[in-house]
């Protein structure tokens, strides 16, 4: 696993959090291939940590769905199938439409200004073209807006649990487009509908927006 050779030792005071972050970065950035095996011994040596915090970090990645633990075989970076993508995007579309419905009446001028700031931050990052991880995080922050504004605790928890998988799938989406990050104008209509007066226009756009993303991402997967 050549990408793991570049890992640096992790500071003792924040070991578990840094381990999770380092491994998640490798996975969502595509440096470790789907289906690739991970070994605790090698990871512990290269990160300079003991097995206990490493196992805790791996458990978190397993729970988030980025790593799979197979009895008697070991740990593997999650493989992605077309069915996985269909399930994720169908659930995400339903949740985000619900979040829009929940937050629609709560769209104060301050809330709308916050959405526009998030959109501008994403566009600025795309223009800077620094790294795809930052752009993906800002894209997720843009979509987080309606969940946060909904003030629906269970909905927000579900969204947070889904975000690591979305980071992974956004990476596949950019790979399908052969670019390092989101397209600059990809969310212009999304934001315009979100600050508009017609909620149904926003719900319809979400359906189209998500479906286009799904069909594009599926192109980078082998035919099953």
154: pLDDT confidence band, cut at 50, 70 and 90?
very high
CB neighbour list of residue 18: distance below 8 Å, 6 or more residues apart: 10, 11
Determine the pLDDT at residue 13: 47
220: pLDDT confidence band, cut at 50, 70 and 90?
low
Q: Are 165 and 210 in contact (CB under 8 A)?
A: no
- Residue range 19-58, pLDDT digits in tens: 888 887 777 666 777 788 988 888 888 888 888 888 888 9
Where do runs of H (alpha helix) occur along 38-108? 40-47, 51-64, 82-103
Neighbours of 139 (CB within 10 A): 25
The DSSP result for 171-208, as a single string, is HHHHHHHTSSS--TTTTHHHHHHHTSS-HHHHHHHHHH
Q: Are 27 and 168 in contact (CB under 8 A)?
A: yes
Determine the pLDDT at residue 203: 97
Determine the pLDDT at residue 197: 96
144: pLDDT confidence band, cut at 50, 70 and 90?
very high
Q: Which helix (H) or strand (E) holds 124?
A: helix 109-128
Determine the pLDDT at residue 221: 66
Q: Are 155 and 98 in contact (CB under 8 A)?
A: yes
pTM: 0.75
Asked if pLDDT for residue 10 goes beyond 60, the answer is no
Dihedral sign for Cα 164, 39, 21, 128, please. Answer: negative
Averaged pLDDT score across all residues of the chain: 84
Determine the pLDDT at residue 93: 94
Helix (H, G, I), strand (E, B) or coil at 159: helix
Determine the pLDDT at residue 63: 81
Asked if pLDDT for residue 17 goes beyond 80, the answer is yes
Q: Which residue, 84, 87, 63, is CA-closest to 75?
A: 63
217: pLDDT confidence band, cut at 50, 70 and 90?
confident
Of 15-29, 63-77, 99-113, minimum mean pLDDT range: 15-29
Distance CA 223, CA 204 (A): 29
Q: Which helix (H) or strand (E) holds 108?
A: none
């Amino acid at each position: 696993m050549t990408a793991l050779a570049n890992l640096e030792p992790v500071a003792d005071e924040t070991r578990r959090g840094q381990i999770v972050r380092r491994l998640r970065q490798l996975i969502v950035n595509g440096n470790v291939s789907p289906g690739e095996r991970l070994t605790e011994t090698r990871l512990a040596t290269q990160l300079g940590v003991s097995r206990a915090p490493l196992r805790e970090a791996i458990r978190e990645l397993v729970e988030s769905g980025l790593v799979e633990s197979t009895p008697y075989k070991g740990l593997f970076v999650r493989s992605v199938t077309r069915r996985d993508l269909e399930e994720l995007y169908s659930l995400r579309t339903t949740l985000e439409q619900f979040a829009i419905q929940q937050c629609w009446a709560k769209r104060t001028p301050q809330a709308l200004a916050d959405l526009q700031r998030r959109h501008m931050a994403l566009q600025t990052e795309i223009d800077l073209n620094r790294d795809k991880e930052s752009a993906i995080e800002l894209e997720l922050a843009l979509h987080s807006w309606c969940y946060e504004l909904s003030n629906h605790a269970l909905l927000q928890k579900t969204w947070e649990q889904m975000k690591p998988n979305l980071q992974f799938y956004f990476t596949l989406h950019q790979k399908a487009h052969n670019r390092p990050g989101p397209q600059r104008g990809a969310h212009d209509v999304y934001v315009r509908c979100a600050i508009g007066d017609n909620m149904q226009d926003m719900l319809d756009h979400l359906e189209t927006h998500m479906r286009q993303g799904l069909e594009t991402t599926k192109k980078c997967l082998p035919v099953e």
